[in-house]
Structure 1
Amino acid sequence: MAALESIRGVYKVVDTQEIDVDIYLPQPERHGSSAQYPVIIDIHGGAFMLGSSSMVNMDQIDDCLSRKWIVLVPNHRLCPKVNLLEGPIQDCRDLLAWIYSGGLQTSIGTHTDLPYALDLDHVFAFGTSSGGTLALSLGFGVPRPVAGIFDMYGPCSFADAFWKTTLTEIKSKLPPNLSDDFINQVFSEDPVPITGGVSLEGQRVGGPNFSDPRQAYAFTQIANGRVMDVIFPSGEWDKIDPIRNITNSFPPTFIVHGDEDKMVPQYLSKGLLSVLSEHGVKSGMRGIPDEGHTFAAKMKVGSQTWNLQREGFDFLESLI
């Protein structure tokens, strides 16, 4: 696959900090300016503390472009200096408002004279891991939700006992000399970062760099079952937990989740599917055989995993 090119948009400014989004445009239609383009927001993973817009699966972007969708891959502020609701969730919701209010159309117009009329009735949200949760957060708590959601193994049910479980496999990889003073340097970062040095999706060979306080901090919290405590200390789960915010008007939702996931157990997604079904929300789920967490980064086009996860994009396309 040839390298995909994007244009940069700024959807939000906090004080003087620009929060940006990579905009990928499909090849323009040949039949004039009447073509309308659905939009899909593709949100990276990273336990709400790591990752960036560069750390997503480019083959999935290419798949969406081939469907004549405009793909937006945003950065957002990273926890823990800002909490989940006021940082990542609010940023993604502000991105959605920016799309609906004409900001995306204006941004595209500053980069190209080609006609890209947006189909604002079909703005979709997609994300992997924490990005899946953020995609789900665009289905509630907003004046105008997205038209459909594709959630790949996103965390939910934040009060579940699992979220306080020690993950021994991760803990065994932590260096023994990580001090609180060192990892807590994340609280002195100014401004709040919108990119973290590694993705949990596994794109970087060799794993995390524990000489970076942010990476060391994040993996320490994951290993010790403290992620929810540090990203949303108030524990007011009704405000942020997707499973507590499903109503009969929630957008159609498709879930993909690895059968062998140990970092976000599949039963959590099955519980979400059950609640969606109870409320009559159009929904579906595909378990992926033999796959653990973060498989999206490394799956190969044409593989069984690739073909099965595409059902999520097919689901969204069926809504158009």
Structure 2
Amino acid sequence: MSLNPITVLYKEVNGSKISTDIYLPATASSEKKLFPVIINIHGGAFMLGHSRMVSMPQITDCLERGWIVLVPNHRLCPGVNLLEGPMRDIRDLLAWVHDGHLDAVLQEQGPYGADLDNIAAFGTSSGGHLAMSLGWNTPKPPKAILSLYGAVHFTHPFWRKQLPHVQAKLPPNLDSSFLNKIYNEVPVPTDSSVSLEGQSESGGSKGPDFSRSRDAFAFTQIASGNVLSAIYPDSETKDPTFNSVDPLQNVTSEFPPIYIVHGQADTMVPIDLSRELFAKLKKEGVKCGMTEVPDEEHTFANMMKVGSRTWWLQREGFDFLEGIVGKGPQ
């Protein structure tokens, strides 16, 4: 098992070079074996973050279960919209795996093969949404999905609500021309200096740097209740029901098994949104489960301590995945 990933490009579009980190579990075998593949998608309100801004204890847990872990980047909004950018990229990553490109990389890494019949996906916040988005309009959806406080139910009034506790973090009188510099970034970036979880590009949890237009833009949209307009302008005209991008609108009896983990004290994506998703999943007869984590805010995955109550509760989601994709070969 190594926490030093292999990084490869899985896609290039309009100058954006989009990579994924590949983490490999330990193996004592010298013969090729097939390992389940788990896609782990970072959070950041679709506008922030990159592949190194994920919970390393969660990755370690996955590796100890014998899973190959892919942690992809994706293009960041608003230079591209949610459907054509992040969702398209993550769907293309899944296709990249199924088309044999992951196996081509693994051939150089010893006795590892990708078990294409046992692929799962999970993510936090916007990453939870992107994991869920693999459940529809994909030729071969994952066998199971885990959403940790994923963004969902976009027609709910919450998504247009101002958030004073976020507004309080912003410096006064941010200039619109400074904020809108984000639209001139060419090519569209696939990483940013900070994630919504609080990790910085140099490690640690330094928080946003409001001298950077991307950090300032993203937090301004969150504070003012304008995230959806910023990341998916079609919601204002062509797709006001969010039919193309909202997991809640796309749950049918054919949806993959899914587990939800959500903090009860979440002020960024209220737990009631996940509760409504869970209710619809059950109504449609989808194999599903949900763990509510007491006292936890939106970004707890980055801050939880291994062995804490929160650690064991969120781990129920990974146990659910394991019950479907199994453990990797020992």
Counterpart of 1:282?
A: 287
In structure 2, distance between residues paired with 1:175 and 1:108: 47
In structure 1, distance between residues paired with 2:30 and 2:70: 24
- Superposition deviation, residue 203 in structure 1: 2.4
Are 1:122 and 1:147, in contact at CA under 8 Å, matched by a contact in 2?
yes
Residues 1:180 and 2:195 are matched in the alignment: no
Q: Deviations over 1:195-242 (max 9, x none)?
A: 011011122434210000000000000000000111001112000100
**Letter of the aligned partner of 1:178 in structure 2?**
L
Counterpart of 2:194?
A: 198
Matched ranges for 1:120-199 at <5 A = 120-199=116-195
Residues 1:245 and 2:243 are matched in the alignment: no
**Letter of the aligned partner of 1:106 in structure 2?**
A
Match of 1:43 among 17, 41, 44: 41
Are 1:124 and 1:148, in contact at CA under 8 Å, matched by a contact in 2?
yes
- Superposition deviation, residue 18 in structure 1: 1.7
Match of 1:311 among 309, 313, 316: 316
Residues paired across the two proteins, number: 316
Which secondary structure state, in structure 2, belongs to the residue aligned with residue 319 of structure 1? helix
Are 2:16 and 2:190, in contact at CA under 8 Å, matched by a contact in 1?
no
Counterpart of 2:3?
A: 4
Are 2:2 and 2:23, in contact at CA under 8 Å, matched by a contact in 1?
no
Are 1:36 and 1:119, in contact at CA under 8 Å, matched by a contact in 2?
yes
Structure 2 runs not aligned, ≥5 long = 326-330
In structure 1, distance between residues paired with 2:53 and 2:269: 19
Counterpart of 2:328?
A: none
Are 2:106 and 2:113, in contact at CA under 8 Å, matched by a contact in 1?
no
Counterpart of 1:14?
A: 13
Counterpart of 1:69?
A: 67
Counterpart of 2:212?
A: 212
**Letter of the aligned partner of 1:265 in structure 2?**
P
Are 1:46 and 1:199, in contact at CA under 8 Å, matched by a contact in 2?
yes
- Superposition deviation, residue 276 in structure 1: 0.6
- Superposition deviation, residue 4 in structure 1: 1.1
In structure 1, distance between residues paired with 2:25 and 2:118: 16
Which secondary structure state, in structure 1, belongs to the residue aligned with residue 243 of structure 2? helix
Q: Deviations over 1:235-284 (max 9, x none)?
A: 12000100000111100000000000010000000000011111110000
Match of 2:100 among 91, 99, 102: 102
Structure 1 runs not aligned, ≥5 long = none
- Superposition deviation, residue 3 in structure 1: 7.3
Counterpart of 2:224?
A: 224
CA RMSD of aligned residues (A): 1.2
- Superposition deviation, residue 17 in structure 1: 2.9
TM-score by length of structure 2 reads 0.94
In structure 1, distance between residues paired with 2:228 and 2:14: 27
Are 2:159 and 2:226, in contact at CA under 8 Å, matched by a contact in 1?
yes
Which secondary structure state, in structure 2, belongs to the residue aligned with residue 285 of structure 1? strand
In structure 2, distance between residues paired with 1:170 and 1:4: 33
Q: Is the alpha carbon distance of 1:271 and 1:29 closer, same or farther for their aligned partners in structure 2, counting shifts above 3 Å?
A: farther
**Letter of the aligned partner of 2:61 in structure 1?**
D
In structure 2, distance between residues paired with 1:115 and 1:67: 17
Percent identity over paired residues:
54
Are 1:259 and 1:291, in contact at CA under 8 Å, matched by a contact in 2?
yes
**Letter of the aligned partner of 2:10 in structure 1?**
Y
**Letter of the aligned partner of 1:151 in structure 2?**
S
Are 1:203 and 1:298, in contact at CA under 8 Å, matched by a contact in 2?
no
In structure 1, distance between residues paired with 2:15 and 2:157: 40
Counterpart of 1:255?
A: 260
Are 2:2 and 2:24, in contact at CA under 8 Å, matched by a contact in 1?
no
